[in-house]
A and B are shown apart, each in its own frame.
Chain A
Amino acid sequence: MNRSIRRIAAVSFAGVLLGALAVHSQTPPPGPASASTTTPPNGQNPATGRAALNIVVLDPAHGGTDPGARGSAGIREADIVLELTAQVRHGLENQGFQVLQTRNGNENPSFDDRSALANAQTGAIFVSLHVSSTGLSGTVRAYTMADMPLPPTTGGLIPWDQAQASYLPLSRKLGDAVQGELTQRFKGSPMNVQSAYVRQLRTTAAPAIAVELSSVAMEDKADLDRMLPGVADAIVRGIVTFRPSYVTPAVPGNAPGAKP
Chain B
Amino acid sequence: MSPKLRLGIAIGFVFAVLAAAIYFPILKRRVKKQAQVQQKSEEQARLELVQSLNAASNEPKVKAKLFWAADAEYSELVANTVELPLSNDPVLRSKQVLSTLLAGPVDSELRTLPPDAALLAFYILPDGTAVADFSDAMANSIPSGVQSEQFAVDSIARTLEANVPQVLRLRILIHGQAVETLAGHLDLSGTFPVSTKPVPPAPAPAGVPTTK
Give residues in A with beta carbon < 8 Å to B: 61-62, 66, 68-70, 77, 111, 130-136, 141, 143, 146-149, 159, 161-162, 196-199, 202, 210, 212, 214-215
Contacts and interface: CB of A to CB of B under 8 A. Distances in A.
Contacts of B192: 197
Contacts of B212: 146-149
Contact of A196 (B73, B75, B150): B150
Interface in B130-159: 143-151, 153
Interface of B: 73-75, 143-151, 153, 180-181, 184-187, 189-190, 192-193, 201, 207-212
Nearest to B151: A134
B211 A197 contact: yes
Interface secondary structure of B, over-half rule: loop
Residue with the greatest number of chain A CB neighbours at <10 A, chosen from B146, B209, B211: B146
A199 B186 contact: yes
B186 A197 contact: yes
Contact of A69 (B73, B75, B143): B143
Contacts of B146: 130, 132, 141, 143, 196, 198, 210, 212
Contacts of A141: 146-147
Given A133-B143, A147-B212, A212-B147, 4 more contacts: A111-B180, A135-B145, A161-B209, A212-B146
B211 A198 contact: no
A131 B75 CA distance: 16
A148 B201 CA distance: 11
B184 A68 contact: yes
Contacts of A143: 146
A66 B187 contact: no
Contacts of B184: 61-62, 66, 68
Contacts of B144: 68-70, 77, 132-133
Contact of A132 (B148, B207, B209, B210): B148
Given A197-B192, A199-B185, A202-B187, A132 B180 contact: no
Given A111-B180, A196-B146, A199-B181, A136 B186 contact: no
B81 to A, nearest CB: 25
B9 to A, nearest CB: 22
Nearest to A111: B180
Contacts of A214: 147
A162 B209 CA distance: 7
21 contacts: A61-B184, A62-B184, A66-B184, A130-B146, A133-B145, A133-B148, A134-B74, A134-B147, A134-B151, A135-B147, A148-B209, A148-B211, A161-B209, A162-B209, A196-B150, A199-B180, A199-B187, A199-B189, A212-B146, A212-B147, A215-B145
Nearest to A190: B75
Given A135-B73, A197-B187, A202 B211 contact: yes
Contacts of B75: 136
